[in-house]
């Protein structure tokens, strides 16, 4: 895949970064070449410890794990990655589900040993697919509310028409070279709060500061504006049967509270998870879709108990 021909705009330095209780700056950062771009990673913990790789959801970035990562680093080497087009990773000329998975596998390969994979939302689906593709690289797998969408009405639209709609949507996004600017960081906070009303403003201020850059005309999101519904036409019915080949232990985590993007209705979730041979399930009480953000200590305790050193 060819790198995006125009570099991202340079940002105006803004210091200091907002603080949030429980977050720690990364102890190390790396950039890993992958299919024409560089994937940016953050690390906490002993470099010689067993690696745990964290993959975030759509429109998020590696610091969405800034409260969970340091807690896991008590026992593991924790690597949180910015997916291509997100955070401080490179932009590309186009995006697809499959290339994200191979970026993830390149991060894993760079560590030189099998890893534990933990993914949230879109990242949960992608770590699951990565474990299917290269099971020898994955010791254990944790999927946090990343079990695919519900069936949508558009599933009744003939596939050729849906493909045409998807290509038209991609064409429109390629024509858009930048996000509209926001006057203040607080405006970005309110924009994200409208999508995720369960997340508090103090967390979102920390999160969006790392998700955006200040340019001469205002604040812009860092993620590439040409991204969107880049998965392409597909049927949710295709998702779960492929999980039957998973060889490693899998932990499925959801929150107890209905939220913007999850969890799935229980009958549908149970139907999909039934395909996984070696499965454990847990529900984190009092959390919505962003389980690890709302309940980082509880999520870390759960993972530290379940993951093998």
pLDDT (tens digit per residue) in 121-150: 999 999 999 999 999 999 999 999 999 998
Which structure tokens are listed for 96? 């697809």
Residue 16 preceded by cis peptide, ω within 30: yes
Per-residue pLDDT tens over the stretch 258-308: 999 999 999 999 999 999 999 999 999 999 999 999 999 999 999 999 999
Q: Pairing relation of β-strands 115-120 and 37-44?
A: unpaired
Domains of the chain, by residue range, sit at 28-148+239-306, 178-224
The pLDDT of residue 237 is 82
**Domain spanning 28-148+239-306, CATH class:** alpha beta
Q: Which residues pair with 116 in a beta bridge?
A: 52, 140
Q: What is the rounded distance in angstroms from the CA atom of residue 287 to the CA atom of residue 259?
A: 9
**Which residues are CB-contacts of 184 (< 8 A; sequence separation ≥ 6)?**
218, 219
Yes or no: say if 53 and 119 are a contact pair by the CB < 8 Å rule.
Answer: no
Q: Are 33 and 66 in contact (CB under 8 A)?
A: no
Terminal CA-CA length for the chain: 36
Averaged over 212-236, what is the pLDDT? Answer: 81
> What angle do the packed helices 122-133 and 97-111 form, to 10 degrees?
70
Residue 86 has pLDDT above 70, yes or no: yes
Instruction: Name 305's bridge partners.
Output: none
Identify whether 263 is preceded by a cis peptide bond (ω within 30 of 0): yes
Pairing assessment for the beta strands 115-120 and 138-144 based on DSSP bridges? parallel
pTM of structure: 0.91
What radius of gyration do the chain's Cα atoms show? 19
């Amino acid at each position: 895949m060819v790198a995006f021909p125009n570099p991202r705009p340079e940002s105006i330095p803004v210091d200091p970064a907002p603080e949030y209780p429980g977050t720690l700056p990364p102890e190390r950062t790396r950039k890993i070449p992958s299919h024409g771009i560089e994937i940016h990673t953050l690390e906490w913990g002993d470099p010689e410890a067993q690696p745990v790789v964290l993959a975030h959801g759509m429109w998020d970035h590696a610091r969405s794990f800034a409260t969970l990562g340091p807690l896991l680093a008590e026992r593991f080497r924790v690597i949180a990655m910015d997916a291509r087009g997100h955070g401080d990773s490179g932009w590309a000329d186009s995006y697809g589900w499959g290339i994200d998975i191979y970026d993830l596998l390149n991060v894993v390969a760079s560590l030189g040993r099998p890893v534990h994979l933990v993914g949230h939302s879109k990242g949960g689906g992608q770590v699951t697919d990565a474990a299917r593709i290269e099971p020898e690289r994955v010791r254990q797998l944790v999927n946090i509310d990343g079990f695919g969408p519900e069936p949508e009405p558009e599933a009744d639209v003939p596939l050729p028409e849906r493909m045409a709609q998807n290509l038209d949507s991609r064409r429109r996004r390629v024509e858009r070279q930048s996000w509209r600017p926001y006057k203040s960081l607080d405006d970005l906070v309110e924009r994200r709060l409208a999508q995720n009303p369960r997340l508090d403003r103090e967390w979102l201020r920390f999160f969006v500061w790392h998700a955006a850059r200040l340019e001469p005309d205002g604040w812009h999101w860092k993620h590439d504006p040409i991204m969107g519904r880049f998965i392409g036409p597909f049927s949710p019915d295709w998702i779960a049967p492929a999980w039957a080949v998973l060889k490693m232990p899998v932990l499925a985590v959801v929150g107890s509270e209905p939220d913007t993007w999850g969890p799935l209705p229980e009958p549908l979730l149970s139907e999909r998870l039934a395909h996984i041979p070696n499965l454990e399930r847990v529900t984190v009480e009092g959390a919505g879709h962003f389980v690890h953000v709302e309940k980082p200590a509880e999520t870390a305790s759960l993972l530290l108990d379940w993951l093998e050193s």
